[in-house]
Amino acid sequence: MFTIGHGASSALKPISRDGLILRTSRICRNLQVFYRVPRLHGDLRPPNIFLTARGDEGDIQLGDFDCAVEKGSQLLASSEPFCKVLQNYELPEGSAITEQFSLGSCIYTIRFQRIPWHDLAPPTRVQKIINGELPESPSNALFGDLMSRCWVGDFESVYSVEQEIIRLLQNKRGLQAVGTMLSSMNADLISTLK
């Protein structure tokens, strides 16, 4: 397996538009498994997102569950810029909002092959997060508006994020093309918890 953005396969070539769409949707589906448990991943970031042996077209699995928490419990880890940090550098309670924030930063990293605010020192990045500032993402970029909405917690759940991805795709490609693309996904993601 390779981690997103850190493995040999992703370092050799940029991720295609279809690759980004599939990976983002698969990450959402993996996160939904936790809602059924009910827990939150708590440390979603590219080194904890794995491509299976099928490489660029393979399935996505999440790893590093030692920071998973029950909804409403304080997060155990903060990996900037993938965690929404509160005033006084406190970690928030885990919620759909904290998972969406992490997801928005992961989408940004996968899309642009760099973390948000990559050119700033870590303390400056953390201060921007505390101040509620958002990284720039062109609204015309694939998922630009979606990333911004994730960073502000605009969705009810990660499932709602995935539904928005499907809606955006249907508007661009048509219902049948999206159905074909998504039908190749592995529906049994509960194995990622075992």
pLDDT digits (tens, 9 = 90+) for 10-69: 443 566 767 777 778 888 888 877 767 778 899 999 999 887 766 555 578 888 889 999
pTM for this model (two decimals): 0.78
Give the strand pairing for 49-51 and 60-62: antiparallel
CATH of region 2-185, choose from 3.20.20.70, 1.10.510.10, 3.40.640.10, 3.40.630.10: 1.10.510.10
Using CA atoms, how far residue 102 sits from 11, 17, 129, 149, 185, in Å, is 22, 21, 12, 12, 22
Closest Cα to residue 37, out of 80, 1, 69? 69
CA dist 91 and 106 (Å) reads: 19
Q: pLDDT tens digits, residue range 140-179?
A: 666 788 899 999 999 998 889 988 888 887 777 665 555 5
Residue 93 has pLDDT above 90, yes or no: yes
* Per-domain boundaries in the chain: 2-185
